[in-house]
A = this chain, B = another copy of it.
Amino acid sequence: LGEFARIDQIFAPLSAGAPGAFGLTDDAALLPDAGPGQGWVVTNDAVVAGVHFVPDDPPDLVARKALRCNLSDLAAMGAAPYGYTVALAMPREVAGDGAAATDWVRAFARGLAEDQAAFGVHLLGGDSVSTPGPLWISITAFGRVDSAQALRRSGARPGDELWVTGTIGDGALGLLARNGRILRDDVTEPLVQRYLLPEPRTRLGPALVGIATAALDVSDGLVADAGHIAHRSSVRIEIDAPAMPLSAGAIACVDSAPDLLHHVLTGGDDYELLFTAPLDRRETIEALAAETATRISRIGRVTDGRSGVTVLDRHGEAIDSLGSGGWSHA
């Protein structure tokens, strides 16, 4: 497929739901009016074959994860997703005219189509280029939020509670299992799936606008990301290790190798929302979580301080370090 056929036949149909994409016929796209009091949130995340995914990963999963990481960033700001642009750099085996190349691009687009339907987003435009190096994807995503109340990393106050969605550590353990560093196929298959396909919290994120005092999505690792909130909010954060929500697979892994727990807390790749909120919003938050079918857990609190994170054990004692990762971030 040449460039024009690729756009017309494979990518243009993905823009059908966005009138301002003009069917990908023009130089750029037009975002619709965001609506009264609403503004556009913009985020950009890129991935490279051999760094962020394995070159022969299924193209539909590669596409969906790249998109979902961006949707997770929108959710972290409280924005409801609308659309995205995608730059795709194709090595010869994908850029070519052959059947294998066309199959790759079609599968990539099929993955995008699947998640467009799942998350209500549309392709707005982008670019495709050839590269002598590994395949890469850069996605820029757009969502709407109340302009005055976008969720930020700053805003956490002493006395707030710390919440997290879903379960933590599955992505990091899934990656270890995939790389042959955890040999428990009986329990790691769902963890690998979580690594390949995170679940962006696109419904709960927007619902937390006006309720959460600070938020982000967990990508660097729970402790490091809690540290980002602490730093930007000029507070200290305490995390209760026993309150950490773990999946059945993660529990089985940690039970058989306790030093894996530091991967759970510091491994990253969770794409869950970590947020703070005042005590008196607890019931509201639980109701919103139920409405959006999102598992949530209270895992700690905001305390006086200027920055830093302390992880507490079951006795409420600070854990200085666990394994090589270390839990206590200054």
Q: Interface on A for B, CB 8 Å cutoff?
A: 20, 22, 25-34, 39-48, 50-52, 73-74, 76-77, 79, 85-87, 89, 124-127, 129-134, 136, 138, 140, 142-143, 145, 147, 150, 152-154, 216-217, 232
Contacts and interface: CB of A to CB of B under 8 A. Distances in A.
A152 B138 CA distance: 25
Contact of A39 (B31, B143, B150, B153): B31
Given A85-B140, A132-B50, A133-B134, A27 B77 contact: yes
A87 B216 contact: no
Nearest to A20: B39
A232 B25 contact: yes
Given A45-B127, A127-B45, A136-B136, A26 B152 contact: yes
A46 B85 contact: no
Contacts of A33: 34, 39, 147
B28 A41 contact: yes
Given A26-B77, A46-B138, A138-B138, 11 more contacts: A25-B152, A25-B153, A26-B153, A27-B73, A27-B77, A27-B153, A30-B40, A33-B39, A44-B138, A48-B133, A89-B136
17 contacts: A25-B153, A26-B152, A26-B153, A26-B232, A27-B76, A27-B77, A27-B217, A28-B76, A31-B40, A32-B147, A44-B127, A48-B129, A87-B138, A131-B133, A131-B134, A132-B134, A138-B138
A149 B172 CA distance: 49
A41 B25 contact: no
